[in-house]
Structure 1
Amino acid sequence: MSRIILSLAQIGGDYDVLFCDLWGCLHNGEHPYPAAVTALQAFRAQGGKVVLMTNAPRPNRYVTRQLDRMGVPRDAWDIVVSSGDAAQEAMFAGRVGRKVWHIGTAKDDGFFDDIPAEFTDAPPITRVPLSEAEGIVATGPFDELTETPGDYRDRLIQARNRGLPMLCANPDVIVDMGETRIYCAGALAEYYEGLGGTSLYFGKPHPPIYDRARRLLDLGPDARILAVGDGIFTDVKGALDQGIDVLFVTGGLAAESMGADVENPDSDLLLGWLDNHGLAPHYSIGRLR
């Protein structure tokens, strides 16, 4: 059973590190949630470390720039670890070949252009048309405001027939940008698998992103970690698979299923919803505060 809490401060003293999601927890894609910022600042003031762990398909420095533009203060976090970091390592290591068809927008160009130091001498990754590709790199739809995975059916069938693997740089299926719900690379990867293709994942809920965070903070096996997130099959499942305690933010992607008050989930609705999804986070909260 998931315990509903009113604030991070109720349990924060039991943990050394937060692995905190961004979209739906710290911001809505357009502006930060002030109460969430305050909660993270207070956790750090007590000596805790905050890892902003995101499935954004870009290297962390681009995520940091976005946070700065939104006005998220630097004293609310210690490091940013993105799905783009972990997936980028795999791409430059050649996991889907050296000639790739990129599904995504120009804002994700840094995924290809910002080459990690350890791969500066590696053979280059070249973006090519689908007909010339050895693999696919998906960072999101070409037009994330209007397209759905079904719009890619014919092209992905061609890719499947040629046996092209897809590297998914963002396992999120959907996110909310302000009031608009948009599809992410994870939706394309799941759709491709449904057509019989092969998809490779590196963000939450998969191990590489957690391994990277532990490595960057030099966390030992006894570190007390709490994951915070609103994605039941990314944030919650990923943390539980890693043996990490979880604070589920019900007022994010699942808000419409939790009752009329986004700040205070209905206990019966929450527990029924979690039971239907087969996952049990240790704690739940309406909004991070």
Structure 2
Amino acid sequence: MTLPHPLPALSAVAADYDVLLCDVWGVIHNGRESWPEACDALIRFREQGGQVVLISNSPRPAHDVVDQLDRLGVPRAAWQAFVTSGDATRAELARRAPGPVWIIGPERDWPLYDGLPLDRAEGAADAAFLSVTGPIDDETETPEDYRERLTPAAARDLEMICANPDRIVQRGDRIIYCGGSLADLYEQLGGRVTMAGKPFGPIYALALTEAERLLGRPVDRSRVLCIGDGVVTDVMGANAQALDCLFIAQGIHGDAARGPDGALDPERAAALLTAETTYARYVALELMW
């Protein structure tokens, strides 16, 4: 088991990187409030000449999520560009237009479909494919609430486009289910799933294009650092792109990477990573400068 290097502060390695591809939920906010030290770390990286691209598995287009960041107190000075799974997924939806598409998800995610020439189906019986952003009521529902509804779609071999590969996120002090958990269930039922967000390539292609725009030159991938708290999304995605990764081990994993004294335990962090056959160059409990 290869241990990640404990990183007490981003400043220790900041000079080694030109670009940060930084996760949002679980790194700079928890859905209820932003974390000032994490935001300050991004601001200080930018002040040293670095470029920050936020990369989120939000199923909504980035322009629709910026207001949420503002409400949570994430300073605009902490980032320069923002790409989401929703941005990457819109191309997948457009290729399948006009559908019809059976949409599953809360109304707040409907900006994903703005301007796309899609007909809407009422259920599996009259759909050509499914588009899922997450549970309709993520405060109360679990994937099991969708087993009966998704079974007929899998039986018809309908493809599911999942706009949020995250399985779970932390909202305040609670863990809630996301689109990826419904995609997992659908695959268990024998259904086909396509995703464009992390850990898959399309969202990284968008993020690196934004990085090149900010730099004004081609990206040196050896000088790009991915930051995230999701092992099967952030870390696995960085591995697939051959990019360095800082694993924020406290996010959705709670205290699993802490030792008996409450401090970071690199061996416990490594166990979280190796359980999914992933590796991160660095690990920290939280992002700070």
Cα distance in 1, alignment partners of residues 107 and 227 from structure 2: 29
Q: 1:234 to 1:256 in 2, by over 3 A?
A: same
Q: C-alpha offsets along residues 2-25 of structure 1, whole Å, 9 cap, x if unaligned?
A: 000111111111000000001110
- Counterpart in the other structure of 1:251: 250
Q: 1:263 to 1:283 in 2, by over 3 A?
A: farther
- Counterpart in the other structure of 1:100: 101
Runs of 5+ in structure 1 lacking a partner? none
Among candidates 33, 36, 40, match of residue 34 of structure 1: 36
Given that 1:251 and 1:263 are in contact with CA atoms closer than 8 Å, whether structure 2 keeps it comes out as no
Partner SS, residue 226 of structure 2: strand
Task: For 2:54, give the aligned amino acid.
Answer: L
State the TM-score, normalized to the length of structure 2.
0.93
Count of residues in Structure 1 that have an aligned counterpart in Structure 2: 280
Among candidates 8, 11, 14, match of residue 10 of structure 2: 8
Given that 1:264 and 1:285 are in contact with CA atoms closer than 8 Å, whether structure 2 keeps it comes out as no
Give the drift of 1:268.
3.0
- Counterpart in the other structure of 2:74: 72
Give the drift of 1:255.
2.3
Cα distance in 1, alignment partners of residues 211 and 101 from structure 2: 32
State the TM-score, normalized to the length of structure 1.
0.93
Q: How does 1:102-181 map to 2 (within 5 A)?
A: 102-113=103-114, 115=115, 124-130=117-123, 131-181=125-175
Bigger Cα displacement from structure 2, 4-13 vs 146-155: 146-155
Pairwise CA RMSD: 1.7
Partner SS, residue 247 of structure 1: strand
Give the drift of 1:276.
3.1
- Counterpart in the other structure of 1:53: 55
2:18 matches 1:20 = no
Cα distance in 2, alignment partners of residues 263 and 79 from structure 1: 35
Runs of 5+ in structure 2 lacking a partner? none
Bigger Cα displacement from structure 2, 273-282 vs 75-84: 273-282
Bigger Cα displacement from structure 2, 32-41 vs 157-166: 157-166
Give the drift of 1:214.
1.5
Give the drift of 1:127.
2.2
Bigger Cα displacement from structure 2, 46-55 vs 209-218: 209-218
Partner SS, residue 275 of structure 2: helix
Cα distance in 2, alignment partners of residues 44 and 139 from structure 1: 32
Given that 2:266 and 2:283 are in contact with CA atoms closer than 8 Å, whether structure 1 keeps it comes out as no
2:220 matches 1:222 = yes
